[in-house]
Amino acid sequence: MNLLELHMEQAQSFLQKYYGYPDFREGQRKIVESVLSGSDTLGIMPTGGGKSVCYQIPALILPGLTLVVSPLISLMKDQVDALTTMGVPAAYINSTLSGKEVNDRIRAAKRGEIKLLYVAPERLELDWFREEMSSLEISCVAVDEAHCVSQWGHDFRTSYLAVSPFVNSLPERPIIAAFTATATPEVMDDMIRLLRLEDPALFMTGLGRDNLSMSVLRGENKRDFVLNYAETHAHQPGIVYAATRKEVDDLYERLRQSGIPAGRYHAGLPDREREESQEAFLYDDIRVMVATNAFGMGIDKSNVRYVIHYNMPKNMEAYVQEAGRAGRDGEPSDCILLFSPQDIMTQKFLIEQNPQDGDRKRNEYRKLQQMIEYCYSTSCLKWGMLDYFGEAHDRKPCGICSSCRDERELVDMTVDAQIIFSCIHRMRERFGVSLVASVLKGSQNKKVLQYGFETLPTYGMMRRRTEKEISELINLLIAEGYLALSEGQYPIVRLLPLSVDVLKGQHQVMMRAPEPILSKTASSSSNRRRGSAYDDGPSAVNETVFEQLRLIRRELAERDRVPSYIIFNDATLREMSLVCPTSESDMLRIKGVGEVKYRKYGRPFLEFFQNME
């Protein structure tokens, strides 16, 4: 047996011992093998896909220390709490510690008492810290949220540019392992170049998570939807993202007035209120968190059952990151995006408010347009997401997104499409969606008359529809690849080759009519979801037993002052409620029950099942 095979055997053993899992997930094994073989590695895995295991397990096997670059204090604490609970020697250094505490942890690392040390990227810029680290044996530098190094990513952070100079300052170059949940091809190129990865092994695995039901709903009363959904899912933790602080405050107050325990989180609140809200959510003291995108990157809460976007996010990267906070434990969860045309105006306003150079601004507008097209798409939403990130897939519909569940019949929209395309052509492809809609409606507004568009043959040809309906139809045609929009704050609509075929009568346009995708019932997607793909799964769980196990977990969490999901996640409790273990060996076969966790927490659960007999 060669050294790598020996290391992989150890890795498998440690996975069971510390994490309680007999096998690595899809993609994890290859990444662990790459890191243990000494290769620089770039892993792109979905939120909840188990990225941390890919550097934590090698850290236990490689000599010396693994230094983890992590962007947020809350994320560091969460990871270190989880590791120490499992019996893995880990620590963090950040601004919450005193100078003495920092020195104590560095001395512990020098004595070999710590295998993983978490630090923020800004710390790598400090001369004294670089000097201290140069005296340590650092075998690996793991860069979490590595997309932050790219100005084309959605969370660009200049301090991430310090990673490469820091690595160069070390006496011996360690392995660099970089991880992120989302990356377009240009961001991937930036990560390789700016982190100076040497001939890296690249892994992109399963961005489309099968346990997430993705829905885009148009035409909903958003406020009523959120209140209804939160009420009908009151026992489930969820996050509601809104674009502005004002909307967060309004939803928070209305949820509280409705008797729903909720918290809020945005940059305009005092630090103490944000911290208290976050902690209450992590500890399940409140079930709903209403927040701007300032909340979430550092949240490792595994049992979030739904994420609702009250507004369309600014781009697909942000959406996938935020929606991916649902169902990290692998249990079925809902990701619902409530879209309205006003969201486009809000995001454009936010882009304009953010000072940035012309190229970056144009890139933001391009990404926004791709997000708009996703919201209007009638194709499988999983396809749209995978295509955006360049991940190869078999073009098999997921069957569980709102597009796949849309049971409306296809309608021949060829004549309407021809009228729209003809109008755009006669307007010389120089104007935006709203003005095209005004002309087709037969509007007498100032701009229509100023350009003499009332004389066009297509003027008023769709007067039976509202301008909003016409705009919706144009946006559907954009999403389906018949039309395109230019980049920028005021995009111009133009014809694509496929539209020319339609005008010539060589192609038929079959579409679903532009109306809300699902019924107004807030829980419809959830009910349909759990009645189809998961008939043999969670529905077989004894909910009474499951709730009793959650109460035991909550008591242990309160005793040790750690979030409940760090004890055991919901998926582990569900498996317990199915298996009903009555011996230590039975417990250790439950996924998520490692040896250390069993010794710390297993006995009360085991006694519960023994008393049931």
- Span 521-557, pLDDT tens digits: 333 333 333 333 333 344 456 788 988 999 999 999 9
- Is pLDDT of 451 > 70? yes
pLDDT tens by residue, 232-264? 998 899 999 999 999 999 999 999 999 999 999
Instruction: Please indicate whether residue 489 or residue 268 has the higher confidence score (pLDDT).
Output: 268
Among 44-48, 372-376, 455-459, 532-536, which is the least confidently predicted range? 532-536
Six-digit token string for 427? 């307007």
Which 8-state DSSP code applies to residue 397?
Answer: -
Q: Which of left, alpha, beta for 395 (phi over 0: left; psi -120 to 50: alpha)?
A: left
Q: Which of left, alpha, beta for 27 (phi over 0: left; psi -120 to 50: alpha)?
A: left
Q: Which residues of 515-551 are buried (b: 16+ CB within 10 A; e: fewer)?
A: eebbeeebeebbebbbeebbeeebeeeeeebbebbbe
Positive/negative CA dihedral, 518, 522, 526, 531:
negative
Q: Could you tell me the pLDDT band of residue 228, with boundaries at 50, 70 and 90?
A: very high
Q: Could you tell me the pLDDT band of residue 296, with boundaries at 50, 70 and 90?
A: low
CA distances from 565 to 21, 131, 167 (A): 16, 37, 34
Predicted confidence at residue 519, as pLDDT, reads 33
- Is pLDDT of 162 > 80? yes
562 Cβ neighbours under 8 A, 6+ residues apart: 81, 85
pTM equals 0.76
Q: Could you tell me the pLDDT band of residue 33, with boundaries at 50, 70 and 90?
A: very high
Domains by residue range for the chain, with CATH: 3-204 (3.40.50.300), 212-388 (3.40.50.300), 411-511 (1.10.10.10), 541-612 (1.10.150.80)
pLDDT tens by residue, 183-210? 788 889 999 999 999 999 999 876 778 8
Q: Across residues 319-346, what is the average pLDDT?
A: 90
